[in-house]
Amino acid sequence: MKYIIYLVLVLFVSACTDNFEDFNTDKKNPASVNGEALFTNAQLQLAVQMNTPNVNRNIFELWAQYWNETTYNNEANYDMNRNQPEQVFRYFYREMLKDLDEAALIIADNPAANPDEEAANTNKLQIIEILNVFAYQRMVDIFGMIPYSEALDIGNVYPVYDMGASIYAALETRLDAALSGLNTSAGSFGSEDLIYGGDTEAWAMFGNTLKLKLGINQADVNDAKGRSLVEAAVNAGVFGSSADEALFPFQSAAPNYNPIHDNLVVSGRNDFVGANTLIDIMTQRNDPRLVGFFDEETVRPFPYSRDPATGGRVDAVFEEGENMIVYYKNADGSDNIVFEEGPFTIFAADSMAGTRVWLGGEYGTTSSWAIHTQVNGAVLQPTFPGLIMTYSEVLFHLAEAAARGYSVGGTEEEFYNAGITESILWWGGAQADADAYLALPDVAYATAEGDWKRKIGTQSWIASYINGFLGYTTWRRLDWPVMNISPDASGWPNEATDVTRIPVRFTFPTNEQTLNGANYTAAAEAIGGDNVRSKIFWDLYDANDGN
């Protein structure tokens, strides 16, 4: 009887499947995926890591002093006690670079059915290389040195760290080879490419623009190389309009919405407000982008203090350097918008008329969410695009290149004006707004204060809002604008570091000291000490940090 039952079961199973191995296969977690899917995931992970404001992973919107924290202000005080360097290593190496590496191996091993498919596969490999270069450059610019020549080898768990300059040189070679091998007459990823939809011409332009970035970053340390790379990139074709820029199309539903929406809306938390560093500089110039960057509806009634004896409101006196745009009420109830430059007084009686101000949180201190200027609602939308590389960024790089005497098809003033105009238009302003702004003595290239580094650096930094790492890097390279030092600065893991100075790099991940100790020690010695004041190889000069 048992034999009969067993035979029936065997026949039943045989009827259901040809292979018993199917019972041991997890259909929801496949053992292998195609290379295109890995490439798509790498793009997503790159966009999330670049755009998330999650303080466990990305604190550059704070270190660029665009935002300030409301409650937990460790990160604005340069404290990396959440092990952010380890998270950056994890997401870049494991979630992005390893996926790109595997994608290339799978695609290269996949035999093409026809010449068109073969050409498309070749293009896929070149695009993967371009994105590799982008990711590695960003890591160098974060840490200064990273595992590169021995990275991603699963058989080598103790990779050496390579010097930043040597990595840049290797990336230049890889980028040139990828651009040379890219056939813009053939296809590539198609819809699996979430940034450009498989448009090979767009990727060629992206690659040339990346070469521009590699060149401009090295201009101080090696002017000849900077000139060569920049001019070659411009001659080959960099971004020519906002239609060319690299934006990641986040979706309206979880889990693929913009991480800003995730962290500032879905979380239900009110962790960030505008920083006074940015808002003060913008209000000094009555910058039309204020209403694009920050929420005009949350320009708060002025937070008057009260007399402890009577409980009544007292006048608010602002000393020199405290600059605001103040909204006084007219008799008809409309706003009378006035730029106030300290010292000035707002009388307590004005509060009854609904006086409002743009008020940035004092950088590094805990800043009340209720009374300070908040992030614009458009930025908080789930579909707000992920910024990878923008046209305004390119225009300011070209302005800088022209100021250095490079041949880039225009003058520094022309590119400077174009960069400001592009930024204002991108953030919802009109051409008339840009024209009026550029006519201001503090903005016009001929009359704005300082040398070209100060003029271009300040405006490039403003235009990099939301792209915090770009703004932070612009400040490190061009040394403008003047940043604030938090009065609450408590330092970071390396207590020997001067806590009155702003970091110019991430320290290496703490776990590298135990997991890759010998190579960590060698890298720390080579970079001048594993602390936040050891400069990236291209950073020659001291940036302005309030000292």
513-524 tens-digit pLDDT:
999 999 999 999
CATH number at residue 153: 1.25.40.390
Report the alpha-carbon distance of residue 78 to residue 207 in Å, rounded. 33
Asked whether residue 206 is domain-assigned, the answer is yes
Q: What is the pLDDT of residues 96-111, one digit of tens each?
A: 999 999 999 999 998 9
Output the pLDDT for position 514. Answer: 94
Residue 361 CA: distances (Å) to CA of 66, 237, 304: 10, 41, 15
Query: Could you tell me where the DSSP H helices lie in 251-352?
Result: 259-261, 276-284, 290-293
- Encoded tokens for 534: 């050891």
Query: H or E segment at 88?
Result: helix 84-89
Nearest to 446 by CA among 457, 438, 434: 438
- Distances 299 to 190, 377, 406, 433, 517 between C-alpha atoms, Å: 44, 13, 43, 20, 51
| DSSP string computed for 185-221 | TS---GGG-TTTTT-HHHHHHHHHHHHHHHHHHTTTT
pLDDT more than 70, % of the chain: 86
Task: Give the structural domain span for 55.
Answer: 36-266+383-478
**Over 90: is that where the pLDDT of 329 sits?**
no
pLDDT in tens, 360-377: 888 998 888 887 889 999
301 beta partners: 356
Q: What pLDDT score was predicted for residue 92?
A: 98
d(CA 102, CA 86): 22
Mean pLDDT of 244-265: 96
Residue 395 in any domain: the answer is: yes
Structure confidence at residue 346 (pLDDT): 76
Tell whether the model's pLDDT for residue 4 goes beyond 50: no
Give tens-digit pLDDT for 464-474: 999 999 999 99
> Within a domain: residue 107?
yes
Spatial CB neighbours of 364, under 8 Å, sequence gap ≥ 6: 68, 73, 76, 77, 484, 485, 486, 487, 488, 489
Residue 481 CB neighbours (<10 A): 23
* Residue 31, pLDDT score: 57
Token reading at 333? 């109830």
> Per the structure block, which two tokens stand in for 20?
């018993």
In 341-476, DSSP assigns E strands to 344-346, 356-357, 386-389
Is the pLDDT at 11 greater than 70? The verdict is no
| Pairwise CA distance, residues 377 & 535, whole Å | 36
Residue 35's pLDDT is: 96
At residue 352 the predicted structure's pLDDT band, cuts being 50, 70 and 90, is: low
Mean pLDDT of 136-141: 98
Separation between Cα atoms, residue 176 and residue 103, nearest integer Å: 20
420 phi and psi angles, rounded to 5 deg: -65, -45
Pure H helices in 110-238: 115-143, 164-181, 200-217, 223-236
DSSP SS3 for 437: helix
In a domain, 411, yes or no: yes
Please state, in angstroms and rounded to a whole number, the distance separating the CA atoms of residues 294 and 543.
26
The average pLDDT across 385-400 equals 98
Report how far Cα 211 is from the mean position of its chain's Cα atoms: 18
* Least confident range of 252-256, 278-282, 326-330, 472-476: 326-330
Whole-number pLDDT of residue 491 = 47
pLDDT of residue 299: 62
| Total domains in the fold of the chain | 1
- For CA atoms 322, 324, 327, 328, the dihedral sign is positive
Instruction: Check residue 81 and give its pLDDT.
Output: 86
Cα gap 376→277, rounded to integer Å: 17
Cα 244 to Cα 205: distance, rounded to the nearest angstrom: 8
Residue 314, domain member (yes or no): no
210 belongs to a structural domain: yes
pLDDT, position 485? 85
Greater model confidence, 319 or 461: 461
| Integer Cα distance of 272 and 368 in angstroms | 9
Burial of residue 234 (CB within 10 Å: 0-12, 13-18, 19+) is buried
What is the rounded average pLDDT of the residues 10-25?
47
Cis before 255? omega within 30: yes
- Percent of the chain clearing pLDDT 90 (strictly above): 72
* Amino acid sitting at position 321: G
pLDDT given at position 294: 94
The token pair that represents 58 in the structure block: 């990305």
Give the CA distances from residue 430 to residues 239, 260, 287, 437, in Å, rounded to whole numbers and listed in that order.
22, 26, 12, 11
Say if 303 falls within a structural domain: no
Residue 338 burial (CB < 10 Å; 0-12/13-18/19+)?
exposed
Give the confidence band of 304 by pLDDT, cuts at 50, 70, 90.
Answer: low
- Give the model's pLDDT for residue 305: 66
pLDDT at 499 exceeding the cut of 80: no
